[in-house]
Structure 1
Amino acid sequence: MKVIFSHIIPFSLGDGGVRTLVTSIQNELLAIGINVENEKWWDTEQKGDILHFFGRPQSSHILFAKRAGYKTVMTEFLDMTSNRSPSTLFFQKSAIKLARSLMSGMTDRMGWDTYQNADALIYTTSNELNTAAYLFGADTKRGHIVPHGLQDEAINNLTQPAEEKEHLVSIATITERKQTLLLAKAARLAQVPIVFLGKPYSEDDLYFKEFKECIDNQYVKYPGFVSEKEKADMLRTARGFALMSKYESGCIAVYEAAAAGLPMLLPNKPWVMKDYAAINNVSVTGTNSVQEIASSLKKFYSNAHRSETMTFPVQSWRNVAEKYADIYKEIMET
């Protein structure tokens, strides 16, 4: 069995959790004997059994693949879409229905038929699969929920005991979507020390420059993008984890914090409320203002201490790859 990975956006244009997921799964699939290649769009001789899209392709791409004898899989990240309000989703669903009836060409370009024609659909969270079913009529019988994972070495490092220090940790790309600046301002107002780990999409980004103005090395500390070992050390010695993202698709940083046994302060957004809010040691806060976050942050910090066990179970990327392999085998047999 040979699987070809197809990813629409070059990772050079935006590094982050998706690259970690795709490369980790690819490496682990190779390790368990599944032949995986990246799509060579220029190579007319490239052949395989399964074409695996990361991100939604045009509907015609699925049909062309089937015509060429491929089984097709789509892993999709509906992080932004699945975090919209019920009323917004209703209007979006109505607009899609209208567009399908009046503008058939848009159906292909938007890839809406992919949800019925792909042999398997993979999502990180149930919230995203449910959103795909509601908005696009995704066939849930073809849907699979496969959460994120971490490297075995990372899990081992994060679960080691360590002497607790006074800081919280926040891991995220420094960008407006993650609301890093809002959290930094709240940390200073609440006088709660947070170590921010991550890098911007560009050093010249205005949002990043504004964030750097908040760094005081007392309540807002920024060592930048650090090594995996340094990140694990900072997580293991932290009292807790905080992240204020507007939307996420599971979020690998949350999994890292969970593996370390950290209590978490997360925003009251759908990605949290539908998948994490019921977990012990997960607190939520509104994000309407710096003052609101600061109040929640101060209360959270006063009782935050690392647990001896994971905040929730975290699997390895090998486990994730094995689940992908099971999906491949299942569709090859149908």
Structure 2
Amino acid sequence: MDVDLEFEPYRRELIAYSYRMLGSAFEAEDAVQEAFLRAWKARDSFKGEASVRSWLYRIVTNVCLDMLKHSQRRARPTDLGPASDAADANISVLPESSWLTPIPDGVVQSADPAERVALRESIQLAFVAALQHLPPKQRAVLILREVLQWQAVEVAELLGITPAAVNSALQRARVTMSKAKNRTADPADAMDMRQKQFLAQYVRAFESYDLDYLTSLLHEDVVLSMPPISLWLCGPNQVRLWLGGHGRGCRGSRLIPAESANGVPALAQYRPAETANESPIAPRNDPAGQGRWRPWALHVLEIEDGLIYGMNLFMDTPELFEKCDLPPYLD
């Protein structure tokens, strides 16, 4: 069995599946690598009674279930408590393992345009966050049945349970998911000239630090979150207060286009070196002391009807910027 020939065609879809299961792009890639290793070791036992694809899904599902036995539920800041007040917000930093992390679309993207549209919807942050509330096996059932469109008998065979148990798990999962606030953002693939101009306005407003202009681009119930900081803010006025107060060190930042992430537009923020170095929550300082602007946050923007309702500023940049093929600093 040739691993490159037999396994590699399924890498992207297996990473997407594992990401939905685990809520971490980095853990998803680790899970698929471990699944390929297990499959290689067990290659002589593969009799061809099922397809290679089904066989790999069974192995990677078991890897994910094993990983979930020893990990806490990943979440968005909005899952952990009420909104904070920007004026007297308490900054606390939680470990990376606490957070749902973004995933660049290119890591999981299919070459088929129709599949890309479906993929973008099923990796959006709100949907993946809602999945994390499900018990692991229910999570696998719902993804396999409703996202990947497997038949109940196929899922039953993969999980080693009966079709009736699959249908029961699916019903319970649907009830839990129906209680989640699963808002769907405009997909990045749907970007027309008007939407591209809107993103250019966001960049111009942020880089000039024109807070009046910036807040005019925000939905009335916009949420600003900044993992690994645990707090989150709701409403344009709160965003403005934060950026003019605790977040004022972002003045003078530069934003450059990044590959879309979780099916929506993304921008990379580089903060002036002097303010990045002074911050107690600096994600990374340039070890060589180079660059006038240092990596600060990946802005993953959820947009609906021409306004931003989700400003997700992921600040865990050391691995994230590298995964997005972003430069380590800007001159």
- TM-score of the two chains, using structure 2 as the length reference: 0.26
- TM-score of the two chains, using structure 1 as the length reference: 0.25
